[in-house]
Amino acid sequence: MGKTKQTRKFAVAKRMLSPKDTRVRSNLEESKQKQIEKEKKEKEPRQIEQANTGLFFQYNEQLGPPYHVLVDTNFINFSIRKKLDMIRAMMDCLLAKCIPCITDCVMAELEKLGGKYKIALRLAKDPRFERVPCNCAKKGYADDCLTNMAKQWRCFIVATCDKELRGRIRKIPGVPCMYISGYKYTVERMPEAFGAAR
């Protein structure tokens, strides 16, 4: 059997749209419109957040004894599990008087969780805990509420065991974060505290 002849294939020219085609024109008009909008945005004055007067670089001058500690749901629950007296453990960590504060959203979250968190709810209703009214539009997600409170006032220490919330709090300058490590409380970004992470 003989070999079949292999002819060289030549490149097939691609079909191109003519620049006068209506589809191309519409694309050009859209890109021009986007360019005009972009230029408008660049000319508009930008909204720059005003710097907090209580901050001296990263040092927060508004923090001082008695410390107000915003408490999260899981922080109360883990404190009960580890058999820690919250107020005494906070005072051991910060070496000063501490007032645990609970927002309306955290209280609502505790009430929603039901039977498992019955002891945590009873502890949150303790008269030593201060109730802080939050100005949330709709009472809902407690993490957002705590982040907004910390941003707005910056006179609180946020106590939570949630890693995601701790990450959000770290982005706010001058707001320390308290969490449980082992069988004691530890506080971040407060070098003067006894329980500060080394």
Give the CA-trace dihedral at 19, 20, 22, 25, to 10 degrees. 60
* Residues in contact with 195: Cβ distance below 8 Å, sequence separation at least 6, in sequence order: 92, 93, 94, 184, 185, 186, 187
For helices 73-81 and 104-113, the axis angle rounded to 10 degrees is 60
**CA gap 45, 31 in Å, rounded:** 24
CA distances from 84 to 11, 78, 91, 180 (A): 78, 9, 12, 10
Domain at 64-188, CATH class: alpha beta
Q: How much is the pTM?
A: 0.74
What confidence score (pLDDT) does residue 8 get?
Answer: 62
What confidence score (pLDDT) does residue 119 get?
Answer: 94
Is 70 exceeded by the pLDDT of residue 13? no
For helices 142-153 and 163-170, the axis angle rounded to 10 degrees is 20
* pLDDT tens sequence across 61-90: 888 889 999 999 999 999 999 999 999 999
**CA gap 88, 128 in Å, rounded:** 12
The DSSP H or E segment spanning 144 is helix 142-153
**CA gap 187, 92 in Å, rounded:** 11
Which residue ranges make up each domain of the chain? 64-188
Confidence band (pLDDT; 50, 70, 90) for 1?
low
